[in-house]
Structure 1
Amino acid sequence: MLDERWSSDAEDIGLALRKMLATESSIERVRQAEARADGRDLQLESSLAEFGITEMQVEADVTARIAYELGRALASVALVESLPALAVLNLGNVAFGFEGPVPATLPEVAVRRDDGLYIETLHGVARRSAAGDFLVEHQPGLSGRRVADMATADRMERLMDLVDAARMVGAGQALLQYGIEYANEREQFGRKIGGFQAVAHKLVDASIALEGAELLVRKAAFTALESAGGDGAPSPIFARMVFAKAVEASRLVATSVHQVFGGNGFAMEYNVQLFSRRLRSWTMRRHRPGTKLADLARSMLRSETRDTVRHLWNNDVGLPLPRWAREVDSKARS
């Protein structure tokens, strides 16, 4: 049966990590790291190593919760990008490099070739991103070592979709809370601006979208568990959905909170820009979700693929279609 909650292990590790990050990745520390020439927080890297994340052998739900907490704290470390290699290959300090730029602080990159998964030495020129860190457009070569087959590469990509989504949702939740607090304190025309419908509705709409994205993160993590029939990464259906939903929801939150703050949202002394710049950077580093969502929609209109879907809504297997979809399906068959 589908369980939409964090597991007890994910909850325990997540709360412990949140407590540590409250001190080790405070807003002040985030600003200090961004002001450094390399954008890194070396003390935070050391604290996370002592926390033992790189030594943990955990399932996908715990991995997702770790990414969620790192995003929530805007942690100035290149850990989220290395979580898939750590979880799937048991290799640390290896960036996911199937597409888009990778953190300059990670010495190696996992790349996909026609015959499998390879680890290469990072090669390219580092540039500072909108998130304040440094990224490299890796230049793949003919060297490197083959470490796994294409099935493993596919599993690693699906896990990256999950941890990417979890990080965006975590940061979105922290930004939304910051916007709500501001709306409950800021006064205009003798009233708290949170009492104005235009402001309240924006925050409510953003909250609904973000809650849906977080629920989908937990669902996708559940489908990855061995106890749910998973292979350590979300099913292809949930991997596509969770990434697309996280991109959409986090962008909506950033836009809505900026509008609540008005001109103050662009002032460097406020924290809105710290979150929105990172969310913008994270949502643009990899593929655009539109193409994969179109593929997902097509698969839902084919009975041979639709009827194999598991854990969607309250159906263990399959997907009941609405009338309009059944009509499209019927025309496609004729």
Structure 2
Amino acid sequence: MLDERWSSDAEEIGNALRKLLAVESAIERVRIAEGSTDGRDRALEAALDAFGLSDLEAEPDVLARIAYELGRALAPVAVVESLPALTVLRRNDVAFGFDGLVPAALPYAAVQRSDGVYIEKVLGMPRKSAAGDFLVQHQSNGDGEFIGDSAIADRLLRLMNLLDASRMVGAGQALLQYGVDYANEREQFGKKIGGFQAVAHKLVEAGIVLEGAELLVRKAAFTALERAGGDGAPAPVFSMMVLPKAIEASRLVATTVHQVFGGNGFAMEYNVQLFSRRLRSWAMRRERPGKQLAALARTMLTAEKRDAVKYLWNHDSGLPLPRWAREADRKA
């Protein structure tokens, strides 16, 4: 049966990591890293290495929770980008590089070619991103070490989708809480602005959408588990859903919180822009989600594929379609 909660291991490691990040990735440290010459916080990198992230062997739900906490703290490290290769290839110095942009902090990138996955040395000039870190538009020279076939490539991609989505949801939850706290403190016309329905309703709506995205992250992580029939990465349908949903939800949260803050949301002394710039940067690094959403639609409109999908509901396989979709299915 589908379990939509974080596992006990994920909760334990996530809570311990949150305590560490509260000190080692406090918002002042994030600002300092952004103003540095390379966007890195080496003290944080060392703390996470001591925590055990560089040689971690963990279930996919634990990896998703780690990405969630790193996103929530806006941690200026290249851990999320390195987790797929660490998990699948047992290499902790390799970035996921299927979409070209990779962190300058990592010396190697896993790239996809027509015959499979290769590890290449990162080539290109680092540039500062909107998130304050440094990225390289990796230029493949055709060299590199062959790692595996298209099945390995697919597994890396599905796992990266989950981790990217989890990081965005974590940052979105922290940003939403920041907006709620501000609404409960800021006064206009002798009243807390959170008491105005126009403000409260926007925050509630954003919270509902973000909760849906987090639920989907936890579902996707569950489908990756061996006991759920997974291979360490989310089932293909959940992988196609989870990243676009996280992008949509995090953008709604950023827009809403900026509106709650008004002009203050664009002032550098407030933290709204720290979150919104990073959420946008993380989304823009990946290929636009249109292809994945189109593939998802084709799956749902193909009876054989649709009926094989598991875990969309707690007990059922497949997906009952509305009348308009059944008619489109027959015409196809």
TM range (shorter): over 0.9
> Counterparts of 1:151 and 1:316 in 2: how far apart (Å)?
27
Bigger CA drift: 316-325 or 231-240? 316-325
Q: 1:263: how far off?
A: 0.2
Are 2:96 and 1:93 aligned? no
Q: Aligned letter for 2:331?
A: K
- Per-residue CA deviations over 1:284-332 (Å, capped at 9, x if unaligned) read 1111112211221121111111111011123432111112211211222
Query: Which residue identity is paired with 2:36?
Result: R
Structure 1 Cα separation of the partners of residues 188 and 95 of structure 2: 47
Secondary structure of the residue aligned to 2:308 is: coil
Aligned to 2:142: 142
Q: Which residue of 2 aligns with 1:165?
A: 165
Number of equivalences:
332
Partner of 1:35: 35
Aligned to 2:72: 72
Give per-residue Cα distances to partners, 1:135-164, cap 9 Å, x unaligned.
000001121100112101110000000000
Q: Which is further off, 291-300 or 62-71?
A: 291-300
Hey, what's the Cα distance between the residues in 1 that align with 2:45 and 2:207? Answer: 31
Partner amino acid for 2:42? L
In 1, the alpha carbon distance for the partners of 2:192 and 2:318 equals 48
Gap runs ≥5 in structure 1: none
SS of residue in 1 equivalent to 2:316: strand
Counterpart in 1 of 2:177?
177
- Identical aligned pairs, as a percentage? 73
CA root-mean-square deviation:
0.8
Within the alignment, does 1:130 sit opposite 2:150 as a pair? no
1:249-268 superposed matches below 5 A:
249-268=249-268
Q: Secondary structure at the match of 2:184?
A: helix
The letter of the residue matching 2:158 is R
Deviation at 1:221, TM superposition (A): 0.1
Residues in 2 aligned to 1:286 and 1:305: alpha-carbon distance in whole angstroms: 26
Q: Which residue of 2 aligns with 1:314?
A: 314
Deviations 1:45-104 (A, max 9, x none): 000000001222111100100000000000010111001000111110100000131100
TM-score, structure 2 as length reference: 0.99
SS in 1 for 2:49: helix
1:245 aligns with 2:245: yes
Q: Given residue 128 of structure 1, which amino acid in structure 2 is its aligned partner?
A: K
- Counterpart CA distance in 2 for 1:73 and 1:125 is 27
Deviates more, 1:306-315 or 1:223-232: 306-315
Aligned residue number for residue 63 of structure 2: 63
What pairs up with 1:163-312 in 2 under 5 angstroms?
163-312=163-312
Q: Secondary structure at the match of 1:283?
A: helix
